Amino acid sequence: MRIGLIGLGRIGAFHADTLAALSAVEELVVVDALDTAMKSVTERIPKARAAGSPDELLDAGVDGLVIAASTAAHAELMLASVKRGIPTFCEKPIAGSAREAASVRDELEGAGVPIQIGYPRRFDPAFAAARDAVRGGSLGRVHTVRSTTMDPAPPPASYLAVSGGIFRDCAVHDFDAVRWVTGREVVEVHAVGAVDPSAPAELYLDNDDFSTASTLLVMEDGTIGVVSNTRTNARGYDVRLEVHGSDDSVAAGLDDGLPLRSTQPGATWPAGPPHTFFMDRLAEAFRIELETFCAVAAGTVESPTPLGDALRTAWVAEAATVSARERRPVRVDEVAL
Ligand SMILES: NC(=O)c1ccc[n+]([C@@H]2O[C@H](COP(=O)([O-])OP(=O)(O)OC[C@H]3O[C@@H](n4cnc5c(N)ncnc54)[C@H](O)[C@@H]3O)[C@@H](O)[C@H]2O)c1
């Protein structure tokens, strides 16, 4: 297959390596707004060749497109790709705001072209096993789900300025994981945020954003979700999920790389070294996710994260953004269109 890849920054350059290592991918056609980003990928990866522009790439006859450009470019690129009939994978979030995401849905509904939105936790073997435990009934009645995504250090100010804020950019992974693992929808959120007082204003304050946030999720069956996020977890990249039920409890992400130092006398776990970033913690999940996309593009499987499903996650992020800014609980149907 020939796969196109637009955007070769932190995640795009990583996806280029992952895609090139897949046996289904014969050629990668890549483009980025920055020549330096393109050069570093085409020089490193023999399967990669550069296109002159996104339009040139879209007209190059690729079998599928991966969009890993900045969030602000997602909607326009997705519309251009799907309207040409190209099966499209787009990194989360669908767009800068859920309102814009809804207009993408309205334009593309019925297009008949598969779209997969990038939520890698759905492909992490431990998250999948937690979901199987819920579905298999071994946990009994699930009452609490805790989901955590903590970055070791903030991304650059240029990234944060167009990210949509911590709920749409980071917590959205947890909102999606809680929905996917429980199979239940979120009906109400209570979110709070705080700003690291030592951070320059251009990182958070200027963007009406937060460096640390917590969100309580009330699910349709009364299950409570507890989501924790920060941009400043110096010990490492912390991605985990716990599901507690009336009969049993399970956790995904409790391996020796868990970035926590136990203060329990005599404890030797976790043995470390801590996970440093998504590239090591979620490498296998990204590989399975992109391998799945190749199968989606080949028409052998359905998209596991279609637009409508991803949009329901986006509404939760929207409700959390409003909740933290206005300091009040927000029902998801108040913001959903
Ligand atoms: N699934 C995940 O776990 C995960 C992790 C990180 C980032 N992301 C998402 O991936 C996207 C990129 O994040 P990143 O950290 O790589 O950002 P980044 O800023 O490092 O890279 C973005 C790249 O896109 C390029 N670009 C922007 N607009 C473009 C356009 N119109 N055409 C071509 N190139 C364009 C930029 O030049 C840059 O190289 C974001 O939407 C982010 O939310 C997802």
State residue 97's pLDDT score. Answer: 86
Residue range(s) occupied by CATH 3.30.360.10 in the chain: 122-277+313-335
State residue 43's pLDDT score. Answer: 98
110: left (phi over 0), alpha (psi -120 to 50) or beta: left
Between the CA of 34 and the centroid of ligand 1 the distance, in Å, is 12
Given ligand 1 and candidates 70, 92, 278, 313, which is best to mutate, with the most ligand atoms within 8 Å of its CB? 70
Residue range(s) occupied by CATH 3.40.50.720 in the chain: 2-120+287-306
- Which pair of structure tokens corresponds to residue 226? 């507890």
Q: Which tens digit of pLDDT belongs to each residue from 129-156?
A: 999 999 999 999 999 999 999 999 999 9
Q: Which tens digit of pLDDT belongs to each residue from 310-327?
A: 999 999 999 999 999 999
Between the CA of 72 and the centroid of ligand 1 the distance, in Å, is 9
Which residue CA neighbors atom 20 of ligand 1 most closely?
A: 9
Rounded to 10°, the helix 71-83/98-108 angle is 0
Q: Which tens digit of pLDDT belongs to each residue from 28-83?
A: 999 999 999 999 999 999 999 999 999 999 999 999 999 999 999 999 999 999 99
Q: Which residue has the tokens 């400043």?
A: 232
The letter for the amino acid at 317 is: A
Rounded to 10°, the helix 10-20/283-298 angle is 70
Q: Which tens digit of pLDDT belongs to each residue from 221-251?
A: 999 999 999 999 999 999 999 999 999 999 9
> Residue 337: is its pLDDT beyond 90?
no
State residue 279's pLDDT score. Answer: 87
State residue 93's pLDDT score. Answer: 93
Tell the burial category of 2 from Cβ atoms under 10 Å away from its Cβ (0-12, 13-18, 19+). Answer: middle
Between the CA of 16 and the centroid of ligand 1 the distance, in Å, is 12
Q: Which tens digit of pLDDT belongs to each residue from 266-311?
A: 999 999 999 999 889 999 999 999 999 999 999 999 999 999 999 9
What gap in Å lies between CA 205 and CA 85, rounded to an integer?
41
Report whether 210 contacts 183 (CB < 8 A).
no
What gap in Å lies between CA 136 and CA 158, rounded to an integer?
44
Cis peptide bond prior to 54, omega within 30° of 0: no
The CATH fold of domain 2-120+287-306: Rossmann fold (3.40.50)
State residue 94's pLDDT score. Answer: 94
Residue 293: strand, helix, or coil:
helix
Between the CA of 261 and the centroid of ligand 1 the distance, in Å, is 32
The overall average pLDDT reported for the chain is 97
Between the CA of 155 and the centroid of ligand 1 the distance, in Å, is 11
CB-CB neighbours of 307 under 10 Å? 24
What gap in Å lies between CA 281 and CA 274, rounded to an integer?
9
> Residue 109: is its pLDDT beyond 90?
no
> Residue 87: is its pLDDT beyond 90?
yes
Smallest CA-to-CA distance from 88 within 75, 99, 100 is with 75
Report whether 290 contacts 66 (CB < 8 A).
yes
Q: The domain 122-277+313-335 belongs to what CATH superfamily?
A: Dihydrodipicolinate Reductase; domain 2 (3.30.360.10)
Cis peptide bond prior to 329, omega within 30° of 0: no
Ligand 1 atom at shortest distance from the alpha carbon of 118 = 1
Report whether 247 contacts 138 (CB < 8 A).
yes
Smallest CA-to-CA distance from 272 within 310, 296, 236 is with 236
Total length of the chain: 337
299: left (phi over 0), alpha (psi -120 to 50) or beta: left
The answer to whether the CB of 285 is under 6 A from ligand 1 is no
Torsion of CA 317, 327, 208, 152, to 10 degrees: -60
The rounded percent of the chain whose pLDDT value lies above 90 is 97
Confidence of residue 96 (pLDDT cuts 50, 70, 90): confident
Rounded to 10°, the helix 283-298/125-136 angle is 80
Average pLDDT over residues 81-93: 97
Report whether 142 contacts 182 (CB < 8 A).
yes
